[in-house]
Structure 1
Amino acid sequence: MAKKRTIVLAGGGHTHALLLKKIQQSPLHNTHIVLLSTTRYTPYSGMLPGVISGHYTAEQAHIDLQQLAWDSGCDFIEGSVRQANPDTQTITTNTSETISYDILSINTGSTQSRLVEADHCLRIKPVHQFFHWLYREFPERLNTYSTPFELVVVGAGAAGIEVAIALKHRYKNKGVNVHIASGGSILPGYPASIQRSVLNELDKKNILIHRNFRATSVEAQHLISGSGEQLHYDQLILATPASPDLWPSESQLTTDVHGFIVVNDCLQSLSHPNVFAVGDVATRASKELPKCGVMAVRQAPTLYANLRNSLSGAPLIPFRPQQHFLALLSCADGRAIASRGSFRAKGRLVWYWKDWIDKKFMHQFPLPEPGSFDYL
């Protein structure tokens, strides 16, 4: 009998979650599959603004990866990649455990670049740290303020916009002023009509936009721009563009100038054909794709097919991204904004549509039991 081959899934992102669901339905025979994830519970990005605004519980917006792995006949290890050596086909975890593989798939996501190590400066990733601040630290701090609390979100992409709107909704009438510091236009890459619609929403909600404020440093709870402007904050939240972990660029894997793993159209590393990378951690050599949850979800069927084909020696298939994908932005008040190609929509029906899509996605997976999070 042929020796079992080991597939290591590094990271518990959206692509790997859907991959495990597919493996549960159609197992990859004669394989030993290991999922390595920094946390047992992985957040679904589409519902996180709804958790902040109070529309969902944290449990509703997280997948129980350990249970999902077990249901799929796979092992689960809680930990992170500290080092990868694709030449020896091993990865080393943060606990110094060495794991050997025949095939490695990487879906470790991204983080936000930190301006500086400053007091009251928080990234929205890792999500569990952000939620600990949201549920525990921030309410305690807010109770000590007699003057308006100045909360500044750095970054005006979809994540920054939705987080700012959700925070404003959660703390309306509680003395919290929400600002967005943007280095350029809001929602870069979105149609101008959507940008105008969102600006109108921000204005209605009294969320202050500081455009052309390219933050470069922090000094005594003041955000400093490249031109020397200052913006006072009591809490700084970074929702800046995706930034990779350091370990990919420190391995022998081919990475781009930013440190993202470069893959071909089949989601395969350019330098090591038995390594695949998907989601935010990867960048495609032929054409860069948006780093968003929709793209990661769409990559799952192609990744499954190419893992199966790698095992059998069959040709790999290319990932064919949609030319236009659906973008849904929550207004945190029972309305949402939709955009796809030339299609635009806004209102309560769009929120119900978004809510249905998100709940349908999460219905595929095991969710955490109530009381699973220590910050609640």
Structure 2
Amino acid sequence: MELLLIGAGHAHAFVLEAFAKRPDQAVSITVVSDSQFAAYSGSVPAWLSGECTLRDTQIDIAALCQRAGARFIASPAVAFSASERQVTLADGSVMTFDVASFNVGSTLTLPHVIDPQREAGVGKSLEKGSVEKGSLPTLLAMRPLSSLHHRWQALREDVAALPSGVHQNIVSVGGGAAGCETLMSVLAQLRQQRPDIHWQGTLVSASTTLLPGAGWLPRWLTARALRRAGVHIQAGMRGSALVPGGVQTDTGERIEGDIVLWATGAVGQGWLQQTALPLNDKGFIQVRASLEVIGQPGIFAAGDCAELQLSSSCPSPSSSLPKAGVYAVRMGPVLAENLRAACHRQPLIEWQPPKRVLALLGTGDGRAIASRGTIGFSGRWVWQWKKRIDARFLARFNPPFND
């Protein structure tokens, strides 16, 4: 049986680990992805804040494939045919399969750009490092995660060229955990990189509260951490467009900003729209509790790219699971069992989403906030705890660097 793993997300790392621990001579595994290194989302805030290197946040998928006896191809999928059991890769090659699984993450809807000068044909190109009031802000999109390091490096190069003594306001659009954590981490790193610049931040949240779904104590701790980081919170406002000098909200107001972190509006990968896979209105692949795609036997999806059809026995049957790495991690072992079962035409088991998960949110200052339901606490020890958890997770899948 030919098992094809499309993408190198967290759930597929568990699949490879399972086959490495329990090899199956009847199953031939191939993994296709754009890079042999896959970012672990839990460690990204530490990297953004400058506490570790990019390599410290990555799983070596090629090495993991070697342990599992799988073939790795460094070319992402760009087309998929369920009826023909074929996948076309970016390099033009075509792969066939018996059983396939998607773990390709998500991307986001970029903001509209409204630039009257450009539309009128009178805009001018600014030299790198120059500052002009009324110019469009620099955008840092937080998804897709696989290419974030390229965008982050480009932004840091722009910051390095700024003149000394200027004021820079970083606006983060998105009041969830990712938006809050990213803003505090980025502020910490840029303040360290350019202490001669006056940095401040603004968080724009469409919700009237931070961290929708969290208890009041985690929300209060997060608001306090944001204030400590010099961040002004604009709740109940939805950022909709980039305009000269900042971000325009859906009510037409303008929030001044020089750099915009876009951490909202997660959607499925665009190329999936050209497939016959069942997608929801945001482009995510609809799956059953077994993680098998609805109406597509032998095809599975997990992680951010999947939209689980929640049953009435689940805690929130009318809502979607958040797009967070913790769910991909929890799906991993069940996905591994079901892919093996599908290859042998055996019954599948169901994955039950956890009612509550532990969330650990870094604040960029050597501290972190722990949240589980209504419970919340913070401190430097929480950050050290988070780093130990993340290091153990990465060590689970990575060989020692000195091997």
TM-score normalised by L of structure 2: 0.86
2:195 aligned with 1:176, yes or no?
Answer: no
Question: What is the aligned counterpart of 1:187 among 211, 214, 229?
Answer: 211
What displacement does 1:321 show? 1.8
- What corresponds to 1:89 in structure 2? 85
Q: Deviations over 1:40-59 (max 9, x none)?
A: 21111111100111222211
- Aligned partners of 1:302, 1:188: CA distance in 2, in Å? 28
8 Å CA contact 2:218–2:371 kept in 1: the answer is yes
3-state SS in 2 of match to 1:259 = coil
Q: Deviations over 1:329-375 (max 9, x none)?
A: 112222211112343221122122211111110111227969xxxxx
Task: Note closer, same or farther for the CA distance 1:129–1:102 as it changes in structure 2 (3 Å cut).
Answer: closer
Question: What is the aligned counterpart of 1:49 among 40, 45, 48?
Answer: 45
8 Å CA contact 2:293–2:301 kept in 1: the answer is yes
- What corresponds to 2:14 in structure 1? 18
- Aligned partners of 1:246, 1:133: CA distance in 2, in Å? 19
- What corresponds to 2:148 in structure 1? 130
2:280 aligned with 1:275, yes or no?
Answer: no
3-state SS in 1 of match to 2:398 = coil
What displacement does 1:16 show? 0.4
8 Å CA contact 1:63–1:367 kept in 2: the answer is no
Task: Note closer, same or farther for the CA distance 1:239–1:367 as it changes in structure 2 (3 Å cut).
Answer: farther
Aligned ranges for residues 69-84 of structure 1 at < 5 Å? 69-84=65-80
- What corresponds to 2:174 in structure 1? 155
What displacement does 1:175 show? 2.2
Task: Note closer, same or farther for the CA distance 1:367–1:214 as it changes in structure 2 (3 Å cut).
Answer: farther
2:71 aligned with 1:65, yes or no?
Answer: no
- What corresponds to 1:314 in structure 2? 346
- What corresponds to 1:363 in structure 2? 395
- Aligned partners of 1:333, 1:202: CA distance in 2, in Å? 11
Q: Deviations over 1:138-172 (max 9, x none)?
A: 24434323411222221111111111011121233
8 Å CA contact 1:62–1:368 kept in 2: the answer is no
- What corresponds to 1:165 in structure 2? 184
8 Å CA contact 2:14–2:336 kept in 1: the answer is no
- Aligned partners of 1:310, 1:134: CA distance in 2, in Å? 40
User: Which runs of 5 or more structure 1 residues have no equivalent in the other structure?
Assistant: 371-376
What displacement does 1:275 show? 0.3
3-state SS in 2 of match to 1:56 = coil
Task: Note closer, same or farther for the CA distance 1:171–1:141 as it changes in structure 2 (3 Å cut).
Answer: closer
8 Å CA contact 2:108–2:267 kept in 1: the answer is yes
- Aligned partners of 1:178, 1:369: CA distance in 2, in Å? 37
- Aligned partners of 2:227, 2:83: CA distance in 1, in Å? 54
- What corresponds to 2:360 in structure 1? 328
8 Å CA contact 2:137–2:242 kept in 1: the answer is no
3-state SS in 1 of match to 2:378 = strand
- What corresponds to 2:133 in structure 1? none
Task: Note closer, same or farther for the CA distance 1:192–1:241 as it changes in structure 2 (3 Å cut).
Answer: farther
Question: Given residue 291 of structure 2, which amino acid in structure 1 is its aligned partner?
Answer: L
Amino-acid identity (%):
30
Question: Given residue 79 of structure 1, which amino acid in structure 2 is its aligned partner?
Answer: S
2:233 aligned with 1:209, yes or no?
Answer: yes
Aligned ranges for residues 330-345 of structure 1 at < 5 Å? 330-345=362-377
- What corresponds to 1:38 in structure 2? 34
- Aligned partners of 1:119, 1:148: CA distance in 2, in Å? 13
What displacement does 1:26 show? 0.9
What displacement does 1:130 show? 3.1
- Aligned partners of 1:12, 1:128: CA distance in 2, in Å? 10
What displacement does 1:62 show? 0.6
Q: How many residues align?
A: 366
3-state SS in 2 of match to 1:199 = helix
2:223 aligned with 1:199, yes or no?
Answer: yes
**In angstroms, what is the RMSD of aligned CA positions?**
2.0
- Aligned partners of 1:340, 1:215: CA distance in 2, in Å? 28
Question: Given residue 105 of structure 1, which amino acid in structure 2 is its aligned partner?
Answer: S
3-state SS in 1 of match to 2:25 = coil
- What corresponds to 2:161 in structure 1? 143
What displacement does 1:99 show? 0.8
Question: What is the aligned counterpart of 1:100 among 93, 96, 101?
Answer: 96
- Aligned partners of 2:52, 2:389: CA distance in 1, in Å? 14
- Aligned partners of 1:347, 1:137: CA distance in 2, in Å? 30
3-state SS in 2 of match to 1:203 = helix
Q: Deviations over 1:223-265 (max 9, x none)?
A: 1111111123222221114211122232111111211111011
What displacement does 1:213 show? 2.2
Question: Given residue 186 of structure 2, which amino acid in structure 1 is its aligned partner?
Answer: L
Question: Given residue 183 of structure 1, which amino acid in structure 2 is its aligned partner?
Answer: A
- What corresponds to 2:267 in structure 1? 243
3-state SS in 1 of match to 2:152 = helix
What displacement does 1:280 show? 0.5
Question: Given residue 222 of structure 1, which amino acid in structure 2 is its aligned partner?
Answer: G
- Aligned partners of 2:138, 2:174: CA distance in 1, in Å? 16
What displacement does 1:73 show? 0.6
Following superposition, which runs of at least 4 residues in structure 1 exceed 4 angstroms of deviation?
A: 367-370
8 Å CA contact 2:86–2:94 kept in 1: the answer is yes
- What corresponds to 1:8 in structure 2? 4
What displacement does 1:176 show? 2.1
8 Å CA contact 1:60–1:367 kept in 2: the answer is no
- Aligned partners of 2:246, 2:179: CA distance in 1, in Å? 19
Task: Note closer, same or farther for the CA distance 1:368–1:128 as it changes in structure 2 (3 Å cut).
Answer: farther
- Aligned partners of 1:251, 1:140: CA distance in 2, in Å? 38
Question: Given residue 34 of structure 2, which amino acid in structure 1 is its aligned partner?
Answer: T
Aligned ranges for residues 215-254 of structure 1 at < 5 Å? 215-254=239-278
